[in-house]
Structure 1
Amino acid sequence: MTRENMRRYAVDRESDFSLLGKEWTVLPGVYPSGSFSSTEFFARQDIYPKPGGTFLEIGCGAGVIAVTAATSGCGAVTATDINPEAVRNTEINAHRHGVAGKVSVRHGDLFDPLEADAEFDAVFWNSNGVEMPGDYRHRSTYERAFFDPGYKSHRHYIEHGLRHVSAGGRLFLGFSGHGNAALLHDFAERAGVTLVERARSGGATRVYRHPHLLLELVRA
């Protein structure tokens, strides 16, 4: 993902897009799920718990996956995002699709908005897989949806994610073929975690030259 592509598909006003047979709202400064194929690919995968289960989405953006989880039978859905406009956007789409009572949206980075002992039956993050130098400073909150300086967010997710998974639950990472897989596996090995590939997209799209990868994190 280049900065040029990131800017090209950014929305500058509130607008609607179609995805998964539904209409969605996207706000300015929020990850434009309708323009990138990753959201639809991951939303169609087996990332949701059994009906009645609890689901956590990290980095919810416009809320497509969180809302899909709620409309697919989850008993309760929690979503977090470091972008306050993404929090508002997810709330808008939860209301739009009649699941506002099931979806709790919180502002903050990764697991920070959660209680220390919060657990879920399934956890998913469509990560900001573009590695940047460790001292890189984001130019906007929007950039945080794409760029991870020093892969600090990925490391934190790998090291802390399983703490928020209930017994028998599952922890997923939506990753990209253009990401630093070697560093990801190094983090996992150090944390005593194994990365298992569960699904892979067909390959290049009009935006991406690399496949999307659904990884499950399991204790080694």
Structure 2
Amino acid sequence: MNIDRISYVRKRLAESQLSDFPKYTNCLGLDIEVHKDVFWDDDNNVTGRWVTENIPPMAGKRVLEIGCGCGLTALFLAKNGASHVLATDVTPNAITNTMANARRNGITNVTSIKSDLYQNVDKKSRFDCIVFHSPSTRVPENFEFSSMIEYSSFDPGGSLLTRFLQGARTYLTPTGTMILAYNVSRNESAITDKLEKLGLPHKLIGRKKITSDGMINLHLYEIWPLPDE
């Protein structure tokens, strides 16, 4: 466990909650409101904005987004051609926030449910793409969250990534793919090592060092699930 990194992330999250809520902004052509305990970082959500802008076009596709936050990515994809987006998050504030923003922008092809990864997603549903900007700071399995917003960044036991990758095949169409955004921090092989261990074909489609110290170093991958045995 990296104590320095946990402190860094906790400080960043706490600072994001110092303003009055809801707060309002315009981002990627969307009129956005942000609720308390939903993460929206400095510089008009530079991390979420970069991830959203670099996701391949989803015209005509059914998309599942895991970890929707205020709904920026889900709404952007729905507005720009996706046939339908199911936006999920483990925190109820994010679900409420996403649907509030759908109404603000007159977007009707987005629905949202509370779910821990795939837990509450209908097992009969199939998607052309599953998008996940994964929490990347590993903490102990018995980690005590001090606020709801910490679910956006901390991964208790380090199991989220494996559960996401292994569960995706159940919910993807035969030609479906995953889009994974991950902060590799100072370890640029963090994701590729995991993908190679699981035998999953993948392609790096974007990378962006957000902070000069390397603490926020985003990689964006397209991943293909292994076929049914």
TM-score by length of 1: 0.88
Q: Could you say if the C-alpha distance between residues 199 and 136 of structure 1 is closer, same or farther in structure 2, counting changes exceeding 3 Å? A: same
The residue number in structure 2 matching 1:147 is 154
Aligned 8 A contact 2:168 2:225 in 1: no
- Is it true that 1:132 corresponds to 2:139 in the alignment? yes
| % same residue | 24
* Structure-2 separation of matches of 1:86 and 1:185: 29
Q: Distance in 2 between matches of 1:90 and 1:22?
A: 12
- Aligned-partner Cα distance in 2 for 1:206–1:9: 20
Q: Secondary structure at the match of 1:169?
A: strand
Q: How does 1:103-122 map to 2 (within 5 A)?
A: 103-122=110-129
Q: Using structure 2 for the length normalisation, give the TM-score.
A: 0.85
Q: 1:128 touches 1:147 (CA, 8 Å); kept in 2?
A: yes
Find the counterpart in structure 2 of residue 176 from structure 1: 183
2:210 is matched with 204
Whole-Å separation in 1 of the counterparts to 2:221 and 2:126: 19
**Most deviating of 164-173 and 8-17:** 8-17
1: CA distance between counterparts of 2:90 and 2:216? 26
Question: 1:39 matched to which residue of 2?
Answer: 48
Q: Residues 87 and 2 (structure 1 numbering): CA distance in 2 closer, same or farther, change over 3 Å?
A: same
Shift of residue 28, structure 1, vs aligned partner: 0.4
**Per-residue displacement from partner, 1:65-93 (whole Å, max 9, x unpaired)?**
00001100111110100110100000011
CA distance in 2, matches of 1:81, 1:180: 27
2:31–2:105: 8 Å Cα contact kept in structure 1?
A: no
8 Å contact kept, 1:132–1:149: yes
What is the identity, as a one-letter code, of the residue corresponding to 2:220? L
Tell me, in whole angstroms, the C-alpha distance in 1 between the residues paired with 2:161 and 2:148.
17
How far off is 1:179 after superposition?
Answer: 7.4
Give the whole-Å Cα distance in 1 for the aligned partners of 2:100 and 2:67: 16
Residue 36 of structure 1: how far off its partner (Å): 3.5
Q: 1:33 to 1:92 in 2, by over 3 A?
A: farther
The amino acid that maps onto 2:223 is L
Find 2:29's aligned residue among 21, 26, 35.
Answer: 21
5+ residue gaps, structure 2, are 1-7
Counterpart position of 1:6: 13
Following superposition, the deviation at residue 207 of structure 1 comes to 9.6
Are 2:188 and 1:216 aligned?
Answer: no
Name which of structure 1's ranges 71-80 and 176-185 shifts more when overlaid on structure 2.
Answer: 176-185
Q: How many residues align?
A: 217
* SS class of match (1:158): helix
